[in-house]
Amino acid sequence: MAEHHGCGFEGCCGRRNGTARLIDARMPELARCLTLFQYVQAVTGGPVARIDQAGSYAVPSLRGEAFAVRPGSIALRIDADGVDTAVVARDEGTGSVALRLLDAEGRTVHQGRLLSEGDRLLVGLAPTVDAGASATGPPVVPDVPEWESGDQLAQLDAVLADGGAARREAFHRYRGEHRPIEVDVLPAVLDHVCSVGLPIGVAVFAPAAMQACGGHVHVTDRTVGGRVFAAIADSSVEIDLAGVRACHLVRSTAAHGPTSALELDDEDGRCVAVVTQFGMVGEDVHAAWEHLAASLPDA
């Protein structure tokens, strides 16, 4: 067991009076660890977009694998090349325990805070690695379809790889429909789907990690500073509109055929969040969403 006092990664822990233990960050070992826990507060995102959901993990997927968003489960997708280390950290002052996935620079890309005492005890079963080790020996990763002619999942995986920066720079090669739209339409879209009861899906990105949710929007809010909040099913999503530089409406093939997605980019041209429909949602829901997307004004 590799036991360390204090966190070995700058900026990933708010408090320093605790212990941290390195665990195996490789798949499928990491997947077995995450699905071990029954009640977790899972958070993914950054300063522009953030998603927060309490529940249990579905089996996380890698780029190139199948992906589904199911009610009551935390849907996490990972770029294995970007997740360098996994750490279980215990705060001795509060007794809280969190599992953090970190990239090669030591940045937290995903956090799961264990909410039950049973889960905090189960964390001792997680396989450990030696101090200074990382996810060496890359796992076998399925082929990832090219985004230029790929479906919805190929677009999400292209974003997951590098924030979508390379994709956006070469977006003229995309064979599907796409157009820039006004950033300020997002609050109106969320308010509308909330008022009419139209379920939506939202994916939020951090380096090497994507967390997604889907369902009805229960409530929306917006601050004077431009932060937008939405409670979606059992998740909460927060977006800082001031940090969104551009918004694109992109159509790609999904379960019901061509499906629109609103892609929000930060000032560096990286996609931080996507609002769309995931999987089998019903023809009426898909048609209503496409009608709404078609009505949005160009930028």
The two beta strands, 61-62 and 73-78, are parallel
**Burial category of 61 from C-beta neighbours within 10 Å (exposed 0-12, middle 13-18, buried 19 and up):** buried
The two beta strands, 97-102 and 271-276, are unpaired
Give how far Cα 76 sits from Cα of 145, 213, 238, Å: 19, 9, 17
Please report which residue ranges of 25-86 form alpha helices under DSSP H.
29-34
Task: Indicate if the pLDDT at residue 132 is higher than 80.
Answer: no
Task: Indicate if the pLDDT at residue 126 is higher than 60.
Answer: yes
Task: Indicate if the pLDDT at residue 153 is higher than 70.
Answer: yes
Query: What is the C-alpha to C-alpha distance for residues 15 and 12, in angstroms, rounded to an integer?
Result: 9
The two beta strands, 3-5 and 85-91, are unpaired
Collapsed DSSP state (helix, strand, coil) of residue 267 = coil
For residue 139, the model assigns a pLDDT of 54
Contacts of 273 (CB under 8 A, 6+ apart): 48, 49, 202, 203, 204, 205, 237, 239, 263, 264
Torsion from C-alpha of 6, 8, 13, 16, nearest 10 degrees: 20
Task: Indicate if the pLDDT at residue 110 is higher than 80.
Answer: yes
Query: What is the C-alpha to C-alpha distance for residues 81 and 208, in angstroms, rounded to an integer?
Result: 8
Q: What share of the chain is helix, strand, coil (3-state, %, to 5)?
A: 20, 40, 40
Strand partners, 98: 89, 113
For residue 192, the model assigns a pLDDT of 97
The average pLDDT across 107-126 equals: 84
* Residue range 246-283, pLDDT digits in tens: 999 999 999 889 999 999 999 999 999 999 999 889 89
- In this prediction, residue 120 has a pLDDT band, given cuts at 50, 70 and 90, of confident
Amino acid sitting at position 143: D
Collapsed DSSP state (helix, strand, coil) of residue 53 = strand
* Residue range 61-103, pLDDT digits in tens: 999 999 999 988 999 999 988 999 999 888 877 778 999 999 9
Task: Indicate if the pLDDT at residue 135 is higher than 90.
Answer: no
